[in-house]
């Protein structure tokens, strides 16, 4: 995320900052044990210290950082166990959303789901055949397609309280944080495509239990990949 992109909005500024800092911590750009300084963050993103303070308070409530007066926030990070536990919760919630979507999805929503899946699959195919390191642009395109796919399913579930619950879990473990765990493995990328297709096929078939099982399996698989990736990075930092 570019600094200018973050600074452009107003209402949800601190929320976007939370997402960006979570992403950096999860992918190892910000090491566990390092310090996040209010002034440095505000200067980097061209914003005041108020949204920075709000964002760090959110991260502290999630256990990701510990705020120390006059020093900033020390990064605790998410352990593999944290990621797996959050994944278990998300699997149940998004599984229910997929089951409800299979019963309630409209033709227009089905079309949007297929468009999102097609974009997702095309992005994965390009990444799988490329010999280059995945770029920020590839990350962005993947994230947008992934978010669109899951988003239309949550919308189609028609349950506002379920959506609020999923959003709460996603704030602690952003859905699109899994990209670094997949990006260098063509096997994991293809597995991710196949899992999304299984969800889509079950919803098209109006198979509620099948959609729920497929989505839950996808979320558990994604969370396990993220947990292993985080644990590997932690070991590398210790060596």
Residue 237 has a pLDDT of: 59
Residue 134 has a pLDDT of: 58
Domains of the chain: 3-75 (1.10.10.10), 80-238 (1.20.120.530)
Gap between the terminal Cα atoms of the chain: 29
Tens of pLDDT, residues 111-150: 999 998 888 788 777 776 665 555 667 677 778 888 899 9
Tokens of 165: 């619950």
Q: What is the DSSP string of 183-198?
A: TT-HHHHHHHHHHHHH
Residue 20 has a pLDDT of: 87
Q: How many CA atoms lie within 13 A of 36 on its CB side?
A: 31
Q: Is 72 left (phi over 0), alpha (psi -120 to 50) or beta?
A: left
pTM greater than 0.85: no
Torsion of CA 45, 50, 52, 55, to 10 degrees: -130
């Amino acid at each position: 995320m570019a600094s200018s992109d973050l600074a452009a909005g107003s209402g949800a500024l601190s929320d976007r900052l939370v997402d960006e800092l979570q992403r950096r911590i999860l992918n190892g750009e910000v090491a566990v044990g390092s310090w996040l300084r209010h002034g440095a963050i505000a200067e980097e993103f061209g914003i005041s210290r108020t949204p920075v303070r709000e964002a760090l308070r959110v991260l502290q409530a999630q256990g990701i950082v510990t705020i120390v007066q006059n020093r900033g926030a020390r990064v605790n990070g998410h352990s593999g166990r944290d990621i797996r536990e959050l994944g278990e919760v998300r699997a149940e919630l998004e599984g229910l959303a997929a089951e409800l979507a299979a019963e309630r999805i409209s033709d227009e929503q089905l079309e949007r789901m297929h468009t999102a899946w097609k974009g997702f699959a095309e992005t994965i195919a390009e990444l799988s055949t490329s010999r280059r390191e995945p770029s920020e642009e590839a990350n962005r395109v993947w994230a947008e397609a992934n978010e669109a796919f899951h988003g239309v399913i949550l919308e189609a579930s028609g349950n506002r309280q379920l959506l609020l619950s999923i959003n709460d879990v996603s704030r602690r473990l952003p859905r699109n944080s899994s990209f670094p765990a997949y990006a260098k493995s063509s096997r994991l990328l293809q597995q991710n495509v196949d899992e999304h297709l299984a969800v889509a096929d079950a919803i098209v078939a109006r198979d509620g239990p099948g959609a729920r099982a497929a989505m839950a399996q996808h979320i558990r698989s994604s969370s396990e990949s993220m947990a292993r990736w985080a644990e590997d990075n932690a070991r590398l930092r210790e060596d």
